[in-house]
Amino acid sequence: MSKQRVLTPQDEDFPAWYQDILNKAELADNGPVRGTMVIRPYGFALWERMQAAVNQRIVDAGAENAYFPLFIPQSYLNRESEHVEGFSPELAVITMGGGRELAEPVIVRPTSETIINAYMSKWIQSYRDLPFLINQWANVVRWEMRPRIFLRTTEFLWQEGHTAHVSRQEAREYAAKILHEVYQDFMESVLGIPVLIGYKTASERFPGAINSMSLEAMMRDAKALQMGTSHELGQGFATMFNTTYLDAEGNQEYVWQTSWGVSSRMVGGLIMAHGDDLGMVVPPRLAPIQVVVIAVRDDGAVVEACHSLANEMVAVGLRVKVDDKTGTGFGRRCTNWELKGVPIRIEIGPRDLEQQQTTLITRMTGEKQTVSLAAAPQHLVTLLEDIQDNMLAAAISWRDSKIVDVVNLAEAREASQVGFARIAWEMLGTQGEVALAEDAVTVRCLQRADGSLPEDIDEPNLLAICAKSY
Amino acid sequence: MSKQRVLTPQDEDFPAWYQDILNKAELADNGPVRGTMVIRPYGFALWERMQAAVNQRIVDAGAENAYFPLFIPQSYLNRESEHVEGFSPELAVITMGGGRELAEPVIVRPTSETIINAYMSKWIQSYRDLPFLINQWANVVRWEMRPRIFLRTTEFLWQEGHTAHVSRQEAREYAAKILHEVYQDFMESVLGIPVLIGYKTASERFPGAINSMSLEAMMRDAKALQMGTSHELGQGFATMFNTTYLDAEGNQEYVWQTSWGVSSRMVGGLIMAHGDDLGMVVPPRLAPIQVVVIAVRDDGAVVEACHSLANEMVAVGLRVKVDDKTGTGFGRRCTNWELKGVPIRIEIGPRDLEQQQTTLITRMTGEKQTVSLAAAPQHLVTLLEDIQDNMLAAAISWRDSKIVDVVNLAEAREASQVGFARIAWEMLGTQGEVALAEDAVTVRCLQRADGSLPEDIDEPNLLAICAKSY
């Protein structure tokens, strides 16, 4: 089947390919204020399903949802010196409210550590109140000079978790639990995107944290995308906001804190980790539409058969859409569903109906199968599970083929142009990190040789993952 | 059982009672920036359940969720003269972004008609794209001079629906459908709050609308709370943003629009519509916790029995919490669950266990029942359904007892001090409306004698519902 080109091919111009998908799959538009975005219904449906899956894991990890104000007094940010220094260049500042100039300027939250500490310090009294585990789903604003939809936007949607604990050990364990059980599990088992985990170097740490951990994925252009972070905040914010508790012995102690977040940038990650020259490829567990049933022609019996098959599929738990808009050409409709990355397309025409069968096309591979109408629902349940597994496996093997072990700076620089370079951190060091930055290559994270999370950033024999990134 | 007073009694000082509940039931706090609020986990759980129930009804009504930017260029607002006039005094204005003064000031959205029209005008081309039905869940900001948590806050959470249609008739029918099938159904069947529906008078109309419909509930102090609104926007925004479509005959036409919203103020409505001097009373269908099982003493067998009963209740679909924090006194724990309005409290102590029975206390009535442990789960399912029905019935009969039919302005003024006054709109008129405003009484809505929605605001024989309000 000869295809008309609908997108700029990835190999020709990856950023143009990405922009084309955003438009043609009707995912998102630029907003009128620089760096903002409009998330269209299909893009938002992807985000809503991400939210639901992440939220369930957060609740399972014991945190409760709450909501803190969008507006933060400038003075709150100023209390933590690294924090204010890190965020100041990105702030949106409100100087007028209710028709008057404000006495103190108000900041639109870039993140909520400060305002949440102001309340934790009221709510937390005794060790019995700990651990204190809270999460919020919210919009945040960081003024963006080089915006790119979903990946870097002035306003983005995210969740931010904030917790307080009795000891550094407990806080670090909780931050690592979120990293593994919430984020890594979600990204690998739902998004089908494998992630490398490890510590950020000191220069890439969250402003105000004593340790940042991140999850790094490889996009189809072999660049890295930071998919999420989990931070140990130590006692810095607690000290500035006097967030203390009375321990069992009656001593007043500062809490140990964590914060952690994932954002709407994961939608960009989803597009770039799985997409191909025909459009998105959405993994079945995430897909708002798992199966689209296309009526080939405007024929009453055909349309009826489509709806009846769809109903049977819904009955076995699938998310299904019927496309009976036969006013639009069949080929164009197929192209549109390919663009949107629906895992399975089913075509039913008069001849199929006669033979009581249908054609299934798998988006990931383009493979076609003929299946009897009666057997289709159960067959699809299994097929979708297979696709989910295959997408993760394919992403792992492709990524691993692009990770190169190197032994010196020159090799690291070269390998980072076309994939991830993995090098002994003791070999690279902070000096090497600075040198790589000249080529826009960064240390994405530090991990053990087996890929696991180190106990400490000073642990010997750590490996640095170096790459260009979004 | 002699109770210590935990709240200011409603009859003594209703606003103080409300404020006490917010604090003691751990629902919300004031934010640091005037008029903002912090929604604590229990308050947010109520809102999350409201969101889920409203969202399901919106999806059933055919609208899709999307997300538009928080930031709107000042120039967008200026395009619709009534709209900008209505909202100007309440705007939060950003003048600094990314460390620089902005060339054009940016508004934090007070509502999104303007920015959504800017995109509808791109997306809508032909009559085939209509009706265009979109919804977003978002925070909005209206600078509030007399803030009150949940009821009037500078930032609040809401959903706003925005639709475009081919005719005024279709638009008005959709706006009415949302009013009845989404909002009224949710409020009555989930919140257990009866609502009066009708048209806003011209002076109370949404800025830019040609017709506003509202749902009005009576609080326990006999004041009105506007629980939600649905507007016909006519073609005003469409004209200003050039939101047009090509009809089947090839003519370029402006769309007819609607917008509609409910907000976090419904949490305030829930508190004030059902609460009593012991705290909140949450209807079972909404309740994040429907049943709390309280271990009377720190006794291994008792605690185990609590969890085992809770598991059986979860198995029949109930939302259950076990309170085994026996470090806190039993009486105090009971008071706390009463404050939070959990529909049913179950107490299990050693003697109950011996007799394989338990005591159930209904929050709404204070009624106690003794039930065998084995029969409890099924009994509770029925009991919760009865409570749901009883709460709505009680709210209706109480409200109706406070509605007085009156025939002149003096009577309307008097009756509005202690309830709702109902008077012929032709009798009251705009002049009467102005006169009532001197006593802070407003016309909440205009409806037919049978309580139904008029065809038109000029329909004869409409009744005006007059009341003090939040």
pLDDT tens per residue, range B168-211? 999 999 999 999 999 999 999 999 999 999 999 999 999 999 99
Q: Which CATH number fits domain A14-274: 3.40.50.11240, 1.10.10.10, 3.40.50.11540, 3.30.930.10?
A: 3.30.930.10
Residue A82 carries which side chain, given as an amino acid letter? E
Rounded to the nearest 5°, which phi and psi values hold at B370? Answer: -105, 130
- Residue B1: the pLDDT is 44
- Residue A83: the pLDDT is 81
Please report the number of interchain residue pairs, chain A to chain B, with beta-carbon separation below 8 angstroms: 167
Give A224-233 pLDDT, tens digit per residue: 999 999 999 9
- Residue A1: the pLDDT is 44
Question: For domain B291-382, which architecture applies?
Answer: 3-Layer(aba) Sandwich (3.40)
Determine contact, residues B282/B269, Cβ cutoff 8 Å.
Answer: no
Beta strands in B166-278 (DSSP E): 196-199, 211-218, 224-234, 244-246, 252-254, 256-263
Q: Is the confidence at residue A2, as pLDDT, over 50?
A: no
Q: Which residues contact B285 (CB under 8 A, 6 or more apart)?
A: B53, B189, B190, B192, B388
DSSP 8-state secondary structure symbol assigned to residue A320: E
Mutate to test the interface with A, among B71, B241, B319 (most CBs of A within 10 A): B71
**Neighboring chain B residues of A118 at a CB cutoff of 8 Å:** 32
Residue with tokens 């749902």: B215
> Mind telling me how many Å the CA of A235 is from chain B's nearest CA?
22
**CB-CB under 8 Å, B37 with A119:** no
Q: Which band of pLDDT confidence, cut at 50, 70 and 90, is reported for residue B432?
A: very high
Residue with tokens 């925004």: B237
- pLDDT more than 70, % of chain B: 99
Helices and strands, counts by H and E, chain B: 15, 23
Q: Is the confidence at residue A456, as pLDDT, over 60?
A: yes
Q: Is the confidence at residue A32, as pLDDT, over 90?
A: yes
**CB-CB under 8 Å, A128 with B69:** no
Give A331-379 pLDDT, tens digit per residue: 999 999 999 999 999 999 999 999 999 999 999 999 999 999 999 999 9
Buried b (16+ CB within 10 A) or exposed e, A38-72: bbbbbbbbbbbbbbebbbebbeebebbbbbbbbbb
Smallest Cα–Cα separation from B237: which of B211, B257, B266? Answer: B257
Structure tokens at B458: 């000029």
Q: Which residues contact A212 (CB under 8 A, 6 or more apart)?
A: A199, A200, A204, A205, A206, A229, A230, A231, A232
**CB-CB under 8 Å, B108 with A134:** no
**Neighboring chain B residues of A112 at a CB cutoff of 8 Å:** none
Average pLDDT along chain B = 96
Q: What stretch of H or E contains A101? A: strand A100-108
Rounded to the nearest 5°, which phi and psi values hold at A366? Answer: 80, 0
Q: What stretch of H or E contains B376? A: helix B376-401
- Residue A350: the pLDDT is 94
Q: Which residue of A has its CA nearest to B85?
A: A99
- pLDDT more than 70, % of chain A: 99
Q: Is the confidence at residue A79, as pLDDT, over 90?
A: no
**CB-CB under 8 Å, B97 with A94:** no
Q: Which band of pLDDT confidence, cut at 50, 70 and 90, is reported for residue B83?
A: confident
**CB-CB under 8 Å, B115 with A71:** no
Domain boundaries, given as residue ranges, for chain A: 14-274, 291-382, 403-468
Residue with tokens 């032709």: B426
Buried b (16+ CB within 10 A) or exposed e, B106-143: bbbbbbbbbbbbbbbbeebeebeebbbbbbbbbbbbbb
**pTM passes above 0.90:** yes
Give A169-186 pLDDT, tens digit per residue: 999 999 999 999 999 999
When pLDDT is averaged across residues A193-203 and rounded to a whole number, the result is 97
When pLDDT is averaged across residues B436-452 and rounded to a whole number, the result is 97
For A73, the closest of B33, B97, B139 (CB atoms) is: B33
When pLDDT is averaged across residues B334-359 and rounded to a whole number, the result is 96
Structure tokens at A84: 């204010």
Average pLDDT along chain A = 96
Bridge partners of B234, per DSSP, are B257
| Residue length of chain B | 470
**Neighboring chain B residues of A106 at a CB cutoff of 8 Å:** 33, 92
Determine contact, residues A409/A428, Cβ cutoff 8 Å.
Answer: yes
Smallest Cα–Cα separation from B63: which of B181, B200, B236, B233? Answer: B181
Torsion of CA A407, A408, A412, A414, to 10 degrees: -110
- Residue A5: the pLDDT is 84
Q: Is the confidence at residue A4, as pLDDT, over 80?
A: no
> Mind telling me how many Å the CA of B87 is from chain A's nearest CA?
9
Give A120-161 pLDDT, tens digit per residue: 999 999 999 999 999 999 999 999 989 999 999 999 999 999
Q: Which fold has domain B403-468?
A: Translation Initiation Factor IF3 (3.30.110)
State the ipTM, two decimals: 0.96
Smallest Cα–Cα separation from A66: which of B27, B105, B50, B145? Answer: B27
Determine contact, residues B449/B422, Cβ cutoff 8 Å.
Answer: no
> Mind telling me how many Å the CA of A90 is from chain B's nearest CA?
4
Structure tokens at A435: 């040198």
Q: Is the confidence at residue A249, as pLDDT, over 80?
A: yes
When pLDDT is averaged across residues A299-320 and rounded to a whole number, the result is 96
Q: Which residue of B has its CA nearest to A112?
A: B38
Q: Which residue of A has its CA nearest to B107?
A: A94
Hey, how many other C-beta atoms are within 10 angstroms of the C-beta on A344? 26
> Mind telling me how many Å the CA of B43 is from chain A's nearest CA?
8
The larger pLDDT score, comparing residue B5 to residue A444, is at A444
For B70, the closest of A73, A105, A139 (CB atoms) is: A139
**CB-CB under 8 Å, A90 with B98:** yes
Task: Please give the Cα distance from A261 to A218 (Å, whole number).
Answer: 19
DSSP string, A149-169: TTTB-SEEEEEEEEEEESSHH
Determine contact, residues A270/A371, Cβ cutoff 8 Å.
Answer: no
Bridge partners of A442, per DSSP, are A467
Q: Is the confidence at residue B2, as pLDDT, over 50?
A: no
Mutate to test the interface with B, among A49, A64, A94, A115 (most CBs of B within 10 A): A94
Q: Which residue of B has its CA nearest to A91?
A: B98
| Residue length of chain A | 470
Mutate to test the interface with B, among A26, A29, A38, A65 (most CBs of B within 10 A): A38
- Residue A3: the pLDDT is 58
Give B127-162 pLDDT, tens digit per residue: 999 999 999 999 999 999 899 999 999 999 999 999
Displacement of CA B349 from its chain's centroid (Å) = 39
Q: Which band of pLDDT confidence, cut at 50, 70 and 90, is reported for residue B3?
A: low
3-state SS assignment for residue B11: coil
The angle subtended at Cα B22 by Cα B150 and Cα A77, nearest 5°, is 70
Give B30-45 pLDDT, tens digit per residue: 999 999 999 999 999 9
